[in-house]
Amino acid sequence: MRIEANLGDITDQDVDAIVNAANSALAGGGGVDGAIHRAAGADQMHAACAKLGGCAIGDAKATPGFRLPAKWVIHTVGPRYRDGRHGEPEALASCYRRSVEVAEELEATSIAFPAISTGIYGYPREEAAHIAVKTLMDLQPKTLLLVRLVSFDDYGLSLYQNEMGG
Protein backbone atom coordinates (compact mmCIF):
# COMPACT_ATOMS: atom_id res chain seq x y z
CA MET A 1 0.00 0.00 0.00
CA ARG A 2 1.32 3.41 -1.00
CA ILE A 3 0.59 6.44 1.18
CA GLU A 4 0.79 9.89 -0.39
CA ALA A 5 -0.02 13.43 0.69
CA ASN A 6 -1.64 15.90 -1.70
CA LEU A 7 -2.88 19.45 -1.65
CA GLY A 8 -6.47 19.68 -2.82
CA ASP A 9 -10.18 19.38 -2.26
CA ILE A 10 -11.42 16.07 -0.84
CA THR A 11 -14.55 16.27 -3.01
CA ASP A 12 -12.45 16.29 -6.22
CA GLN A 13 -10.44 13.16 -5.48
CA ASP A 14 -10.57 10.49 -8.18
CA VAL A 15 -10.41 7.49 -5.84
CA ASP A 16 -12.76 4.63 -5.02
CA ALA A 17 -13.67 6.10 -1.62
CA ILE A 18 -13.32 9.40 0.19
CA VAL A 19 -13.61 9.76 3.93
CA ASN A 20 -15.99 12.25 5.48
CA ALA A 21 -15.19 13.78 8.86
CA ALA A 22 -18.79 13.46 10.01
CA ASN A 23 -20.81 14.18 13.12
CA SER A 24 -22.37 11.30 15.07
CA ALA A 25 -25.83 11.95 13.60
CA LEU A 26 -24.38 11.81 10.04
CA ALA A 27 -26.55 14.84 9.43
CA GLY A 28 -24.19 16.98 7.41
CA GLY A 29 -22.76 20.14 8.85
CA GLY A 30 -19.96 22.57 8.19
CA GLY A 31 -16.42 22.13 6.95
CA VAL A 32 -15.54 18.91 5.14
CA ASP A 33 -18.85 17.30 6.09
CA GLY A 34 -20.94 20.06 4.54
CA ALA A 35 -18.74 20.24 1.44
CA ILE A 36 -19.07 16.49 0.84
CA HIS A 37 -22.84 16.55 1.32
CA ARG A 38 -23.21 19.46 -1.11
CA ALA A 39 -20.89 17.98 -3.75
CA ALA A 40 -22.51 14.53 -3.55
CA GLY A 41 -26.03 15.95 -3.72
CA ALA A 42 -27.33 16.97 -0.31
CA ASP A 43 -30.78 15.37 -0.58
CA GLN A 44 -29.45 11.98 -1.67
CA MET A 45 -26.63 12.03 0.89
CA HIS A 46 -28.94 13.05 3.74
CA ALA A 47 -31.36 10.22 2.85
CA ALA A 48 -28.56 7.64 2.65
CA CYS A 49 -27.04 8.79 5.94
CA ALA A 50 -30.42 8.75 7.69
CA LYS A 51 -30.72 5.03 6.88
CA LEU A 52 -27.44 4.32 8.72
CA GLY A 53 -28.79 5.39 12.10
CA GLY A 54 -25.84 7.52 13.14
CA CYS A 55 -22.26 6.53 13.85
CA ALA A 56 -20.23 6.23 17.03
CA ILE A 57 -16.99 8.12 17.63
CA GLY A 58 -14.12 6.13 16.13
CA ASP A 59 -16.39 4.05 13.89
CA ALA A 60 -17.09 4.34 10.15
CA LYS A 61 -20.01 3.63 7.80
CA ALA A 62 -20.35 3.91 4.03
CA THR A 63 -22.79 5.43 1.57
CA PRO A 64 -22.64 5.76 -2.20
CA GLY A 65 -20.72 8.78 -3.52
CA PHE A 66 -23.64 9.91 -5.70
CA ARG A 67 -22.37 12.89 -7.73
CA LEU A 68 -18.79 12.69 -6.45
CA PRO A 69 -15.95 11.19 -8.52
CA ALA A 70 -15.56 8.62 -5.69
CA LYS A 71 -17.88 5.59 -5.72
CA TRP A 72 -18.27 5.67 -1.94
CA VAL A 73 -18.14 8.03 0.99
CA ILE A 74 -16.93 6.51 4.23
CA HIS A 75 -18.29 8.58 7.12
CA THR A 76 -16.23 8.52 10.31
CA VAL A 77 -16.75 10.43 13.53
CA GLY A 78 -13.62 11.82 15.10
CA PRO A 79 -13.24 12.85 18.71
CA ARG A 80 -13.70 16.36 20.03
CA TYR A 81 -10.32 17.39 21.42
CA ARG A 82 -10.21 18.25 25.10
CA ASP A 83 -6.63 17.79 26.24
CA GLY A 84 -5.45 14.55 24.64
CA ARG A 85 -5.90 12.60 27.88
CA HIS A 86 -9.50 11.50 27.42
CA GLY A 87 -9.04 8.81 24.77
CA GLU A 88 -8.78 11.27 21.88
CA PRO A 89 -5.63 9.73 20.29
CA GLU A 90 -7.11 6.22 20.39
CA ALA A 91 -10.45 7.41 18.99
CA LEU A 92 -8.74 9.31 16.16
CA ALA A 93 -6.56 6.31 15.27
CA SER A 94 -9.72 4.17 15.27
CA CYS A 95 -11.28 6.51 12.67
CA TYR A 96 -8.42 5.76 10.26
CA ARG A 97 -8.40 2.00 11.00
CA ARG A 98 -12.19 1.60 10.71
CA SER A 99 -12.31 3.66 7.51
CA VAL A 100 -9.70 1.37 5.95
CA GLU A 101 -11.63 -1.70 7.17
CA VAL A 102 -14.84 -0.40 5.58
CA ALA A 103 -12.94 0.39 2.35
CA GLU A 104 -11.64 -3.19 2.36
CA GLU A 105 -15.19 -4.52 2.80
CA LEU A 106 -16.15 -2.48 -0.28
CA GLU A 107 -13.10 -3.88 -2.13
CA ALA A 108 -11.84 -0.36 -2.74
CA THR A 109 -8.33 -0.02 -4.13
CA SER A 110 -7.91 3.68 -3.30
CA ILE A 111 -9.07 5.99 -0.52
CA ALA A 112 -8.59 9.66 0.34
CA PHE A 113 -8.72 11.14 3.84
CA PRO A 114 -9.19 14.70 5.06
CA ALA A 115 -7.60 15.77 8.35
CA ILE A 116 -10.18 14.21 10.67
CA SER A 117 -11.18 16.19 13.80
CA THR A 118 -8.88 19.15 13.05
CA GLY A 119 -11.64 21.62 12.22
CA ILE A 120 -14.42 22.51 14.63
CA TYR A 121 -13.54 19.46 16.79
CA GLY A 122 -10.28 21.23 17.64
CA TYR A 123 -7.70 18.46 17.34
CA PRO A 124 -4.20 20.00 17.07
CA ARG A 125 -3.15 19.56 13.45
CA GLU A 126 0.40 18.43 14.28
CA GLU A 127 -0.78 15.63 16.58
CA ALA A 128 -3.55 14.62 14.18
CA ALA A 129 -1.10 14.32 11.26
CA HIS A 130 1.21 12.15 13.38
CA ILE A 131 -1.64 9.83 14.40
CA ALA A 132 -2.97 9.61 10.83
CA VAL A 133 0.36 8.69 9.25
CA LYS A 134 1.47 6.31 12.02
CA THR A 135 -1.88 4.50 12.09
CA LEU A 136 -2.00 4.10 8.31
CA MET A 137 1.62 2.95 8.08
CA ASP A 138 0.89 0.21 10.61
CA LEU A 139 -1.97 -1.26 8.56
CA GLN A 140 -1.70 -4.18 6.13
CA PRO A 141 -4.79 -3.94 3.93
CA LYS A 142 -5.49 -6.55 1.27
CA THR A 143 -7.29 -4.57 -1.45
CA LEU A 144 -6.14 -1.00 -0.83
CA LEU A 145 -3.23 0.01 -3.03
CA LEU A 146 -3.35 3.77 -2.44
CA VAL A 147 -4.09 5.90 0.60
CA ARG A 148 -4.10 9.65 -0.03
CA LEU A 149 -3.98 12.22 2.75
CA VAL A 150 -5.55 15.39 1.36
CA SER A 151 -4.79 18.79 2.83
CA PHE A 152 -6.62 21.98 1.92
CA ASP A 153 -3.52 24.10 2.67
CA ASP A 154 0.27 24.05 2.42
CA TYR A 155 0.74 23.82 6.18
CA GLY A 156 -1.29 20.63 6.46
CA LEU A 157 0.52 19.16 3.47
CA SER A 158 3.88 19.91 5.10
CA LEU A 159 2.74 18.19 8.31
CA TYR A 160 1.90 15.01 6.40
CA GLN A 161 5.12 15.14 4.40
CA ASN A 162 7.22 15.59 7.55
CA GLU A 163 5.49 12.65 9.23
CA MET A 164 6.12 10.51 6.14
CA GLY A 165 9.81 11.40 6.20
CA GLY A 166 9.68 13.53 3.06
What tens digit of pLDDT does each residue of 27-44 get? 998 899 999 999 999 999
| Domains contained in the chain, CATH given | 2-163 (3.40.220.10)
Q: Quote the pTM value.
A: 0.97
2-7 and 72-77 strand pairing: unpaired
pLDDT tens figures, 111-136: 999 999 999 999 999 999 999 999 99
Active site residues: 33
End-to-end Cα spacing for the chain: 17
The 10s digit of each residue's pLDDT in 156-166 is 999 999 999 97
| Nearest to 13, CA basis, from 63, 71, 100, 98 | 71
